[in-house]
Structure 1
Amino acid sequence: MTSYIPHLTLPSFIFEKPALSVLLPVALGTAVGYSTRPKETQKTYLALRQPPLRPPPWVFGPVWTLLYGAMGYAAFRAWSTAMDSFDAKKVLLAKQGATLYTIQLGLNLIWMPLFFSLRRPIAATVDIVALTGVTGYLAYIWGQVDEVAAWTLVPYLGWLSFATYLSAGCGYLNNWDFQTKERSTDGKPKDTKFVDEKRE
């Protein structure tokens, strides 16, 4: 069983306040999304060979906003339920869950930079597989504290499974190498376009 590790866990006051608990992952996810330059990310997404059932780019923003909010609510729900009880086991499980939650949030936030900015599909796919596993275990831990908190993570787990398929499928179809799919557009090293990207 995973231990509670304070220095790898978000401060408890975040879990104690519902608004802060919900808004933190939404804000962090939004910040990471904008830091990877949305227009460039969309071009990369459309240029790469993709597996069947890939969603249009506009889907990801609303879906992730809802999922970040849901995971934040689950964190608040599990923490407050445990801390309001007299069950020492639930308190311990909630603290262990808080560590797992922090780890999964970190894994979540580094996927986009790995995939789009650094263009490392192998590392990104390893990251999202680990993320899905940690989140599944988190749902199991929180399910022993509060069933609602666990069920709130189910849509997130479903989307992570789908995202794992997209990440692995895209990596495979592009030979796990995005770097060689770029070519220079005007002789400048940093000004490149993907080979499969249509000219504007």
Structure 2
Amino acid sequence: MTAYIPSITIPGFILEKPAASILLPVGLGTAIGFSVSPKRTQEKYLALKQPPYHPPPQIFGPMWTVLYACMGYSAYRAWTTGMNSFDVRKVSLAKQGATLYTIQLGLNLIWMPLFFGFKRPIEATADIVALTGVTGYLAYVWGQVDEVAGWALAPYLGWLGFATYLSAGAGYLNQWDFSGKERPMSERKKETTYVDEKDS
């Protein structure tokens, strides 16, 4: 059983307010996305060899916004239900889940910089595998506090499974080394230093 660690856990006064709880992951996810540069991220995504059934890059922004909102709503439901319960076990599970929630949010936010910023597909794939495991356990823990909170994480878990496939697939197809696929900017018309899949 995961312990509740206040020093690394998002404060309860944020989780108990629906707007703050929802906007926190949406805002952090958006900030990370823009820090890596959406345009260059899309170009890098298109330039890498991708596994079958990979979606167009334009879908990721809206999809993640919805998933972050579901994540924040789940946190709000679990925290308020648990902390207002007379059941000591539910209170404990809500607190433990809050620590797990904070950990998974951190794992989530470092994936994009690892994959696109630092071009480290092995580390990014290890990160998303860990993220999926922590989130699955979080859904189990918070589902015992509030069923809606548990089910609100279901779309996120489903997408993480697909994202793990995409991350591992791109890593494998590009020999787990994105830097080896670089080409001088002058040889391309687009603003990317990656080899286009059509050129391979």
Q: For the residues of structure 2 that align with 1:186 and 1:67, how far apart are their CA atoms?
A: 38
1:132 is matched with which residue? Answer: 132
Q: For the residues of structure 1 that align with 2:145 and 2:109, how far apart are their CA atoms?
A: 26
User: What is the aligned-residue identity percentage?
Assistant: 72
Q: After TM superposition, give the deviation of residue 195 of structure 1 in Å.
A: 2.2
Asked if structure 2 preserves the Cα contact closer than 8 Å seen for 1:43 and 1:197, the reply is no
Structure 2 residue matching 1:61: 3-state secondary structure: helix
Structure 2 residue matching 1:134: 3-state secondary structure: helix
TM-score by length of 2: 0.95
Runs of 4 or more above 3 Å deviation: none
Q: C-alpha offsets along residues 67-111 of structure 1, whole Å, 9 cap, x if unaligned? A: 000000000000000111111110000000000000000000000
Asked if structure 1 preserves the Cα contact closer than 8 Å seen for 2:43 and 2:192, the reply is no
Question: Is there any run of 5+ residues in structure 1 with no aligned partner, and where?
Answer: none
Q: For the residues of structure 1 that align with 2:39 and 2:75, how far apart are their CA atoms?
A: 32
1:74 is matched with which residue? Answer: 74
Q: After TM superposition, give the deviation of residue 192 of structure 1 in Å.
A: 6.1
Q: After TM superposition, give the deviation of residue 186 of structure 1 in Å.
A: 4.4
2:193 is matched with which residue? Answer: 193
Asked if structure 2 preserves the Cα contact closer than 8 Å seen for 1:9 and 1:98, the reply is yes
Q: After TM superposition, give the deviation of residue 185 of structure 1 in Å.
A: 2.5
Q: How many residues align?
A: 196
TM-score by length of 1: 0.95
After superposition, residues 142-157 of structure 1 pair within 5 angstroms as: 142-157=142-157
What is the CA RMSD across the aligned residues, in angstroms? Answer: 1.5
After superposition, residues 11-160 of structure 1 pair within 5 angstroms as: 11-160=11-160
Question: Is there any run of 5+ residues in structure 2 with no aligned partner, and where?
Answer: none
Q: For the residues of structure 2 that align with 1:130 and 1:147, how far apart are their CA atoms?
A: 23
Q: For the residues of structure 1 that align with 2:141 and 2:33, how far apart are their CA atoms?
A: 29
1:164 is matched with which residue? Answer: 164
Q: Residue 110 of structure 1 aligns to which amino acid in structure 2?
A: I
In 2 relative to 1, CA 61–169 (structure 1 residues): closer, same or farther, beyond 3 Å? same
